[in-house]
């Protein structure tokens, strides 16, 4: 069976069937999928660990801590995570 193409999340208008939070998280996830991040695990667990996420295009590196699948338990040192109040960012997604 062919894989169905996922409809892109619109950047300028929130879809009627999404909350603002769902829309913003989906935008970050969509953007992250298109990035060429380098991810280095600096902890001991393969998933729930600390990571360095490097973007070669911007030459920025951020520390990401993955502690749970749930929002609010993870951390990123990027400016977006500090201000968006979503509990996630493109580096976590």
In a domain, residue 1? The reply is no
Instruction: Give the pLDDT of residue 71.
Output: 78
- Number of domains comprising the chain: 1
Residue 3 domain-assigned (yes or no): no
pLDDT of residue 72: 80
Domain interval for residue 63? 39-93
DSSP states of 16-50: TTS-HHHHHHHHHHHHHHT---EEEE-SSSSSSSE
**Average model confidence (pLDDT) for the chain?**
93
pLDDT digits (tens, 9 = 90+) for 39-61: 999 999 999 999 999 999 999 99
pLDDT band of 23, cuts 50, 70, 90? very high
- The predicted model scores a pTM of 0.84
């Amino acid at each position: 069976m062919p894989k169905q193409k996922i409809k892109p999340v619109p950047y300028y208008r929130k879809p009627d069937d999404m909350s603002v939070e769902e829309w913003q998280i989906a935008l970050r996830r969509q953007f992250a999928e298109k990035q060429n991040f380098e991810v280095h695990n600096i902890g001991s667990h393969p998933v729930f660990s600390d990571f360095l996420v490097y973007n070669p295009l911007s030459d920025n590196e951020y520390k990401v801590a993955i502690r749970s699948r749930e929002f609010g338990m993870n951390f990123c040192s990027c400016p977006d995570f500090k201000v968006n109040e979503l509990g996630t960012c493109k580096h976590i997604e």
